[in-house]
Structure 1
């Protein structure tokens, strides 16, 4: 089981997803087969990375691509210079670059039914990529080399998702920023090679390197399926069935739309409720499973 290689009590996790942060420990070389700093250095220094695979971070924000890239590739030497100047390098969609990560990615998708992506972050000693923020998905932070501290604060937002109440949409209020600047974190986890931090969505974090070595870690993001997602799958099935009903393809009278929309709403509510009640539950369960395992 892929999840079991990363966390303790994986079977228990799959039955009840933990909703608070905690740290798991493995041997320092447990994840060498996934990615090493030497491999990252080779990718950087031999110009193997396309623009779609990298994001440069400096002073708590992404660097504009025109500053380091032409066309679809970074300029020669630009990534190394960025690191030498204290910037952080984010390597994206590594499951499409490294076979061992492709296997891990596929197995995690199959075990959880969640969409998954795998990124790596390389941050020089004494540096910080992004300051306080939160993510709209659960992340597993897998420390590969060096050390990184993760100050954690409790969520300001319950169950954020990418399309609603994500950090990029709402940010922090002035009061929240004041709190983060002056209140001690609820917990600070210091990760060393072989450590894995379970970080549920919404928890505010501000990681930075510790010690004299650069830090390299994987961020394995699980885009959790929510009840809203399940409702969407059911709704799509009902609408697909309605498309094959000649009566549902009939036109609504213009006057009815403008003068008596309540009647139209009542009729369609009755139709939708009836359609949901008569759906084949086993068939829908199969469709939902297929949708969960479909590549994204």
Structure 2
């Protein structure tokens, strides 16, 4: 039911069968406990009390990240730096709150049990009339919950088809003239997200979020759902081959030589096809289902 807390019953049920490919907005359900699990006071409390681990906090100013030495001490965010950063117009990002705030951990675990998608939740505080992050896209679905204030989301259709994990990251493919193109053409969609509203943002959609039009600080959460893909199943199919002793045999250096390697590849491909042809599909499916619900290691997301 965790997904219902964010989207409501109808939209949550629809998402399970028709994964969105275009952004849309809705109201946070009146019955949602999100405000009790996490709110602006809680988030500021992590920072003001010096409880926020430095490895999970980023600070941005006009699209650029600040060096952690500007705001950390003893592996924690220095409380005295927080009001100074906000007064200077910096955006503070608290990453993966679910790893150190139990209520959000429970919500993310519930979403994973429902969808099979692991994920995390990140908080952003942006002072009024400022901008932190600017143009970029993400590799996974984001559900943005506005807790306080407002934020403008300028949205542009994807530049890359189905970015996933490290493939198709905006930081790796970035072209400087894209920003000029987006500014000249204008956004394909603009969303003014106010407190109590939710934005569902599919992977790949370029976004330029800002609080330049806001008169009070913007505080929002982004719940990230890391979608499963055919690649994820394929990786488990291949990984399961370790149980077959044929795949634990030694490939000699001679068979790794340039002139022999094509034949070695052909031999392993034939071995893989034979292995897959005799695989117990039902047994692997049970293992995969368990992984969809329980697997949270960052190395396997």
TM-score, normalised by the number of residues in structure 1: 0.92
- Residue 274 of structure 1 corresponds to 274
- Residue 286 of structure 1 corresponds to 286
Query: What pairs with 1:217-256 in structure 2 (closer than 5 Å)?
Result: 217-238=220-241, 240-242=242-244, 244-245=245-246, 249-252=249-252, 254=254
- Residue 133 of structure 2 corresponds to 130
TM-superposed CA distance for 1:131, in Å, is 0.9
Query: What pairs with 1:92-107 in structure 2 (closer than 5 Å)?
Result: 92-107=95-110
Q: Is the 8 A contact 2:137 2:203 kept in 1?
A: yes
Q: Which runs of 5+ in 2 are unaligned?
A: none
- Residue 295 of structure 1 corresponds to 296
The one of 147, 150, 172 aligned to 1:169: 172
Aligned length: 292
- Residue 149 of structure 1 corresponds to 152
| Superposed CA offset, 1:72-116 (max 9, x none) | 122341122101111001011211333321221110111111121
Q: Which runs of 5+ in 1 are unaligned?
A: none
For residues 253 and 93 of structure 1, do their structure 2 counterparts lie closer, same or farther at Cα, with a shift above 3 Å needed? closer
TM-superposed CA distance for 1:250, in Å, is 4.2
Q: Is the 8 A contact 2:47 2:79 kept in 1?
A: no
SS in 2 for 1:213: coil
| Superposed CA offset, 1:7-60 (max 9, x none) | 242122112211110001135784311321122222222222121231111120
| Alpha-carbon distance between aligned partners in 1 of 2:58 and 2:28, rounded to the nearest angstrom | 29
Q: Is the 8 A contact 2:255 2:261 kept in 1?
A: no
Moved over 6 A (4+): none
Query: What pairs with 1:259-270 in structure 2 (closer than 5 Å)?
Result: 259-270=259-270
CA RMSD for the aligned pairs?
2.0
Query: What pairs with 1:1-296 in structure 2 (closer than 5 Å)?
Result: 1-7=1-7, 8-26=10-28, 30=32, 31-174=34-177, 176-209=178-211, 210-238=213-241, 240-242=242-244, 244-245=245-246, 249-252=249-252, 254=254, 257-292=257-292, 293-296=294-297
For residues 216 and 269 of structure 1, do their structure 2 counterparts lie closer, same or farther at Cα, with a shift above 3 Å needed? same
